[in-house]
Amino acid sequence: MPSIFSYQSAEVDWCEGNFERSTVIAEYYNTVNGTALFSFLLLAPLNFLLRASARTELCCHKLSLLLAGIFSMYFHMTLSYVGQLLDELSILWTLAVAYSFWYPKVYFPRCIKNRKHFFWLSGVTTVVSTFMSFIKPAFNAYVLNCIAFHLLYLTWCELKKCDDKRVHRMAAAMVVWWVLAIASWLSDRWLCWLWQAVSFPYFHSFWHVLIAVSLLYCFPLVIYFDVNYEMPSFKPKLGYWPSDSWPVVVPYIALEEPHKQC
């Protein structure tokens, strides 16, 4: 029986051919084009622009994204069983951190009275889910992708309360990039025979790029709604760096503190 750390011991093997461009890296483009590279090239400027309003949750989520990116690259480099679990579980715990810090209180279950109780609920749920992930690791990725539907539902609920056209535009951009990302992911899983036939089995590497861009729009939206709930004395405003007119931009949140009269 091969070691769980051995190359190609994972239950999942993506469409890209193995060891075609390197004797060390199993899936070259999936590794090089991994989530870590694009998450930090794209999201680091966002965190930098938010430094004035940075809170503990931003630092925690940045760390969890770093680990998710590193584990994703390790998995695609080795296709090991351990790499597969680390990749999937790091995404699960990244989602848990995001839910714990940013899930709006108005959507808490009735039995949850405050954020501390919700932390415990999120933690217990994540621990249980972690152990269940070992039952059928190949099924984990489908479950993790399904969580996006709940996030989209929450976004839709919040958009119904918001009249800001910039917010709606950013949400639309996020959904478009997410649809392209999930289409690439499913295409790599279900139509691999077709892409191998035309010698273009690289749609999972596209997934890495597209989902990172989708997150680039998702984070400002989440923070925008969070500021409205948690810091009502501030007025969040969506902006684009370096300019709205540029074809490629980085969205960010600017906080405008209202004038206080003596």
Q: Is residue 12 part of a domain?
A: no
- To the question of whether residue 18 is assigned a binding role by annotation, the answer is yes
- Looking at residue 186, its pLDDT comes to 96
- To the question of whether residue 27 is assigned a binding role by annotation, the answer is yes
Residue 245: pLDDT band (50, 70, 90) is confident
- To the question of whether residue 195 is assigned a binding role by annotation, the answer is no
Per-chain mean pLDDT for the chain:
85
**DSSP H or E run through 253:** strand 250-256
Which has more confidence, 4 or 191? Answer: 191
Q: How many CB atoms within 10 Å of residue 45? A: 15
- To the question of whether residue 259 is assigned a binding role by annotation, the answer is no
Give φ, ψ of 25 to 5 degrees: -100, 120
Q: Please list, in sequence order, all residues whose beta carbon lies within 8 angstroms of the beta carbon of residue 176, skipping any fewer than 6 positions away.
A: none
Give φ, ψ of 110 to 5 degrees: -60, -25
Q: Is residue 224 part of a domain?
A: yes
Residue 168: pLDDT band (50, 70, 90) is very high
Segment 93-149, tens digit of pLDDT: 989 988 998 899 999 998 998 999 999 999 999 999 999 999 888 889 999 999 999
Tell me the residue range of the domain where 35 lies.
Answer: 28-256
- To the question of whether residue 168 is assigned a binding role by annotation, the answer is no
Q: What is the mean pLDDT of residues 198-224?
A: 88
- C-alpha 185/C-alpha 65 separation (Å) is 19
Residue 261: pLDDT band (50, 70, 90) is very low
CB 137 within 8 A of CB 96: no
- To the question of whether residue 20 is assigned a binding role by annotation, the answer is no
- To the question of whether residue 13 is assigned a binding role by annotation, the answer is yes
- Could you tell me the CATH number of the domain that includes residue 168? 1.20.1070
Segment 27-81, tens digit of pLDDT: 999 998 765 455 555 554 454 445 444 455 566 666 677 778 888 889 999 999 9
Percent of the chain at pLDDT > 90 equals: 53
Q: Is residue 127 part of a domain?
A: yes
Q: Is residue 19 part of a domain?
A: no
- Looking at residue 251, its pLDDT comes to 81
Q: Is residue 11 part of a domain?
A: no
Smallest Cα–Cα separation from 79: which of 31, 144, 39? 31
Q: How many CB atoms within 10 Å of residue 5? A: 11
- Looking at residue 219, its pLDDT comes to 82
- To the question of whether residue 207 is assigned a binding role by annotation, the answer is no
Please determine, for residue 86, whether its predicted confidence score (pLDDT) is greater than 70. Answer: yes
How many domains would you assign to the chain?
A: 1
